[in-house]
Amino acid sequence: MKRRTRLAENAGIAVRSIKSNKLRSALTITIIAVGITSLVGVLTAVDSMDASLRDAYSRLGAGSIRIRSMHSFPPDMHRIINQLEISEAQAEMFARNYDIPSTVTIFSLVADNTSIESGSRKTNPVARIVAVDENYLRYNIYDVAYGRNFSKEDIRGGRSVCIMGAEAAGSLFPDGQALGRTIAAEGYECTVTGVADRTGSTADGGMDWSILVPYTHPLARSGSRTADFAIGILPDCGISPDKAADRAEAVFRSARRLSPADKTDFRITRSETALKEMETSIRDLTVTAVVIGLITILGAAVGLMNIMLVSVKERTGEIGLRKAVGATSVAIRNQFLLEAAVIGESGGIIGIAAGITAGNIIAAVMESAFVIPWLWISAAVLLCLIVSILSGYIPARRAAAMDPVTCLHHD
């Protein structure tokens, strides 16, 4: 009971001392809060992106496979007999010859960060146009909210039809009546036959601002650059991912007309491999955020120590008076440690609140999930307490060691 009363008295003295030095205390609290905000904010955003991307990969399936062209020149160019791009003919040949039970799609990015228009309305240059076949939505686990998917006849005939992402459709047709309307993109017109469900941020960027057209449509073959196709493979349930990937490589090597001596001039990526690469990137980002936050908090720790040393010097008379009326050295030391802890935890609480808010605002802009990083919150609270105790220890020990007679004489 006495210990609890003594702790309450020390807490009251600590709060009064902080209030009497508002400017210095506020400055230190702000520095600590900034450090914790940067730490918790970035880690909240990272956790949000991690959760969204994991959800996207789990929806896509652990065994999904993607074939892409090389994005840099291989070191042994004399063994390469093809252009680096994957041509439409090669992609079609693969789709015909791949004999593992799977959903196979071929697609190509036509334009990125472009505008689309309908009548007098025009979007900002944030849309992307993707040339696809009838299996693209199924491969990506995207659903059509209303309207229909492409048919084989749409693809064979290169019809002027398109499927819009939810954001793109909402921007051009706020009345929600997109079906049957005509849109223009990159100088070509097409009729909207479907609008996809909202997807948010996914592993491949999401569908919300995408415009899908048949890969046989003239729009897909417009522009001066050579079309570079990609191939997606989603093996049926029960199919070994290793078997599917090995067979995909063999079939596409044949489509590229590579001899056994030729090096593979394309990339095969499995979703679990991409997930591991993503985890590595997120881990690196987490380490960077922790280092930046710790550097900021280290600066705050130095500031807190200086403030406590100044406080000890200014309150020499008070320390002497308390010792003269019976306060022990332990009580004096605990008072100053408690004072440092209150300042540190105040900055920590403000920083945690600001960090969670900032991190989830970033996550909302990126259309990622809302998260509360309980692990990082606990770590931030503990970190603030440790930093506060360490910063306040030297000033507290100095105050506890003062001679009451000398202190009163100084006053």
Say what the pTM is.
Answer: 0.65
Q: CB burial class (10 A; 0-12, 13-18, 19+) of residue 242?
A: exposed
Q: What is the secondary structure of 142-203 as a DSSP string?
A: --EEEE-PPPHHHHHHT-SEEEE-HHHHHHH-TTS--TT-EEEETTEEEEEEEEEPP--S-T
Tell me what pLDDT residue 56 has. Answer: 65
Q: Which residues contact 222 (CB under 8 A, 6 or more apart)?
A: 110, 186, 187, 188
Average pLDDT over residues 56-70: 74
Average pLDDT over residues 175-196: 91
Phi-psi region of 115 (alpha: psi -120 to 50; beta: other; left: phi over 0): beta
Quick check: 47 pLDDT over 70?
Answer: yes
Q: What phi and psi, each to the nearest 5 degrees, are found at residue 178?
A: -90, -30
Quick check: 226 pLDDT over 90?
Answer: no
Q: Are 396 and 308 in contact (CB under 8 A)?
A: yes
User: Of 121-125, 296-300, 400-404, which range is least confident?
Assistant: 400-404
Which of 145, 164, 137, 150 shows the shortest CA–CA distance to 59? 137
Amino acid at 270: R
Q: Are 114 and 251 in contact (CB under 8 A)?
A: no
Which of 168, 105, 110 shows the shortest CA–CA distance to 140? 105
Amino acid at 156: R
How many Cβ atoms sit within 10 Å of the Cβ of residue 76?
Answer: 10
H/E run at residue 113: strand 102-114
Quick check: 101 pLDDT over 80?
Answer: yes
Convert the pLDDT of each residue in 156-176 to its tens digit.
999 999 999 999 999 999 988
Q: Where are the domains of the chain?
A: 2-57+277-410, 71-264
Encoding tokens for residue 72?
Answer: 């840099």
Average pLDDT over residues 50-61: 67
Q: What phi and psi, each to the nearest 5 degrees, are found at residue 157?
A: -90, -5
How many Cβ atoms sit within 10 Å of the Cβ of residue 55?
Answer: 16
Quick check: 107 pLDDT over 90?
Answer: yes
Average pLDDT over residues 47-65: 71
Encoding tokens for residue 246?
Answer: 């090995």
Residue showing tokens 């909402």: 170
d(CA 165, CA 123): 13
Amino acid at 215: Y
Q: What phi and psi, each to the nearest 5 degrees, are found at residue 179?
A: -60, 135
Percent of the chain residues topping a pLDDT of 90:
25
Mean pLDDT rounded to a whole number for the chain: 81
- Residue 78 pLDDT level (bands cut at 50, 70, 90): very low
Convert the pLDDT of each residue in 336-347 to its tens digit.
788 888 888 888
Q: Are 44 and 359 in contact (CB under 8 A)?
A: yes
Cα-to-chain-centroid distance, residue 292: 17
d(CA 330, CA 218): 84
Higher pLDDT, 204 or 26: 26
